[in-house]
Structure 1
Amino acid sequence: MRHSLPLAPQFYVTAPQPCPYLEGRMERKLFTALQGEGSQKLNDSLSKQGFRRSQNVLYRPSCSECAACLSARIDVQKFTPSRSQKRTLKRNSHLERRATSPWATEDQYDLFRRYLDDRHAQGGMADMDVFEFAAMIEETPIRSRVIEYVDHKTGDLIATCLTDMLDDGLSMVYSFYDPTQSKNSLGTWMILDHIEIAREAGLPYVYLGYWVPGSDKMGYKAQFNALEIYRKGRWEDLIDPTAYEAETHPLSTDPIAEQVANISFPDGRG
């Protein structure tokens, strides 16, 4: 009887384009498709190695002359809120959490559009229409939830987060909120609430995406203690954010073939 190993995922590299986080730099991504019955395990495994999900694609920065983007996660058991974060929790105590299946609604899209128009009018998602928004929410081959936050007095939708359920934590794929309530630090508050969800579920981590030293847009993640970053093939505690500088020479990033060869897969290959 003939036996064959499952085919390894195929990896590709995007063409260079202007970096959305650091001016004057070019970004490039290493990516693979999420498809078939092994999608959940592949997402679990590659998330632990610095990858992020966007619909049915897993990607990781692979810039030829820059290694600034560092995948970040919070160690739930070690985390303690700061005084400022405790005030944020108190300010938003009127919000009620509702977890639903990944299904897009008109209320979500209306909130999403108001958020983009106010905060990211020139960003890469600025032209996203209702159908593209629905695809972002609904095209998920793995276990995902939409976490909605509603004002329990008015019933208004105030914030939303698309969240993946991993075997070792929660991954906050994309979040948005009412821009008129920016003084309530809703982005920070959603992270704090996800820490609580993970704690209730006995999950060790909350994955936040990429922390980029030098980027005002992504720098807020360093405000959370018990933060870990994925750097040079392993997770390490973020002790002093100011100690990290973006490496910007051609040898900052390993060759693509070497990067792929060092990726571990759920079936033990790699």
Structure 2
Amino acid sequence: MDHTPRYALITGASSGIGERFARHYAALGVPLVLTARREQRLHALAAELRARVPVQVIAADMAEPGAAQALVGQLHDAGLRVRILVNNAGYGLPGRYRERDWFEHARFLRVMIEAWTELTWRLLPELRASGAGRIINVASFAALMPGAAGQTLYAPAKSFMLRLSESLSLENADAGVNVTALCPGFTWSEFHDVTGTRQQMDRLPAWMWLDPDQVVREAIDAVERGRVLVIPGWRYRLAYAVLRHLPDQVLLGLMRRGSRRIRPVD
């Protein structure tokens, strides 16, 4: 019997939801591989969590070409085998589409589409071989809505993540691999500080904000139960139940007004 430890690999683990995933899996006794750009923060988190589980740190910038291949190479060189993959690395790129240089869009698309899809492709054989592989793709409630002005590529990228999660679930259930797309609404984290939209986000009512620990708990429970889609928070689940039945033109009108309120682009 193979007793090699099977790790949870968490991308974007230095802060926010990724950090909370690391803490929750450590509490469950799952050894960790943490990756993100900010190596110093990863080492600080790893030093804290090593009291519970083995933790490895691999600094990587998923916006760089070849980052996914290099990351998997480092994993295998170190003899680390992955059973749980949390594709969390991501960010927002506020502003009108044509106001950003294409170089910025290209880096965004590498992180939000190319890197995690390649990482998943490269790790799928060992996830399947484990007999109980788990993939959590951190998408967004935006994946369930029409695109918004001022975050032009964000909703399309998250929608892609949701749809690919569904396909991967169908293709890999036979090997015991559960795939879940996590679609949270607004969640307390550094996300909006990094994108420079904190002032706009602070205009939202308190009830719209989710606790990141709640988000992570619901995601882990969902992937263990084999649920493909999880929307944390009853308010967002209720909103989705209502919004999905509205005509497209009504939804677009709602997004137009919402974009003006919290993401001014003029």
User: Normalization by structure 1: what TM-score?
Assistant: 0.30
Q: Looking at secondary structure, tell me which structure has more strand per residue.
A: 1
TM-score under structure 2 normalisation?
0.30
Which structure has more relative contact order (CA 8 Å, sep 6+)? It is 1
User: 1 or 2, which has the higher helix percentage?
Assistant: 2
